[in-house]
Amino acid sequence: MQITPVSGALGADIHGVDLASELSNSDASRVHDAFLEHRVLFFRDQKLSPPEFVRFARLFGEPDIYPFIKGLPDTPEVIEIIKTESDSKNFGGSWHSDTSYMENPALGTTLYALEVPEAGGDTLFANTAMAYDALTDGMKQLLSGLVGVNSSEKGYQGGRAAGMARLDAMKGTFQPEAETYESEHPVVRTHPETGRKSIYVNRSHTARFKDMTVEESAPIINYLCDHMIRPEFTCRFRWEAGSLAVWDNRTTLHHAINDYAGKRRHMQRITIKGDRPC
């Protein structure tokens, strides 16, 4: 197994491993250690069945059921994310941290590419711990007592499930009965395994700060969201069929770029259960 960093901020390629086979204890330990160190890992040339994909996700924690999209019949933890040639919008097309609107947001997410355009459809990642470290002492002091109010409905006209149903290939997969989620989490969270502090807000889900109005909160939220995605805190991944990525949702943001109009992109995704941020 070879582990090669892809940028100065975060991300590493892992070569020499077949994820369709069960990893040895030593290889599994190396992958998990690399996950904590590099925050997002990239694998190429994989060929996984849904059960094998679920087994891989278990290296990082317990696979979760995503509340807004129906999973595959035999592996409900696996959801399909498809953008067709006729869709104008994509899934995940803004900087965000997955399920931060839930009381226990996802620990991580793993995404597997089945079909991708010849060009376009890359994913950007940002290191929110590095972004926190770069803040001034005054800003860190300001943020230390703030709590973010996060909502699953922010940015979705008619609700999140209805918004997802506008994607042609996903019309029959959304869960119309899914509830609305709202959570309160510290703006600065401490990673339970590394002890590193990270900024924990995003424009997709963070509506305001607790005990503050939307208007009062917006300038600080906007500043932090712009700060976290400075180029020196980011990396970019170009997908190929058979590529797989797994990222630490507790200390990263990601953004699926929507730059492949008229092309098809078919992915499978699993989210991994997390705990309450502190």
Asked if residues 44 and 13 have their Cβ atoms less than 8 Å apart, the reply is yes
Given this model, what pLDDT does residue 180 score?
Answer: 87
Q: Length of the chain in residues, anyone?
A: 278
Please name the fold of domain 2-272: Double-stranded beta-helix (3.60.130)
Given this model, what pLDDT does residue 130 score?
Answer: 98
Closest CA to 44 of 237, 256, 265: 237
The catalytic position among 196, 208, 265, 269 is 269
Given this model, what pLDDT does residue 234 score?
Answer: 98
Q: How far apart are CA 209 and CA 184, in angstroms?
A: 9
Report the percentage of the chain scoring pLDDT > 70: 91
Active site residue 64: no
Boundaries of every domain in the chain:
2-272
Quickly state the pLDDT bin for 155 (edges 50, 70, 90): low
Average pLDDT over residues 144-164: 74
The catalytic position among 39, 254, 255, 265 is 254
User: Is residue 149 within a helix (H) or strand (E), and if so which, with residue range?
Assistant: strand 147-151
The catalytic position among 98, 250, 255, 265 is 98
Q: How far apart are CA 37 and CA 4, in angstroms?
A: 12
Quickly state the pLDDT bin for 171 (edges 50, 70, 90): low
Average pLDDT over residues 208-223: 97
Residue 158 pLDDT more than 60? no
Tens of pLDDT, residues 11-62: 999 999 999 999 999 999 999 999 999 999 999 999 999 999 999 999 999 9
Active site residue 255: no
Active site residue 96: yes
Residue 116 CB neighbour total at 10 angstroms: 21
Closest CA to 182 of 199, 198, 161, 206: 206
Using CA of residue 242, residue 14, residue 51, residue 122, what is the dihedral sign?
negative
Active site residue 15: no
Given this model, what pLDDT does residue 166 score?
Answer: 63
Residue 117 CB neighbour total at 10 angstroms: 16
The catalytic position among 96, 189, 203, 208 is 96
Tens of pLDDT, residues 85-111: 999 888 888 999 999 999 999 999 999
Given this model, what pLDDT does residue 153 score?
Answer: 84
Residue 209 CB neighbour total at 10 angstroms: 22
Q: 247 — phi, psi (to 5°)?
A: -130, 150
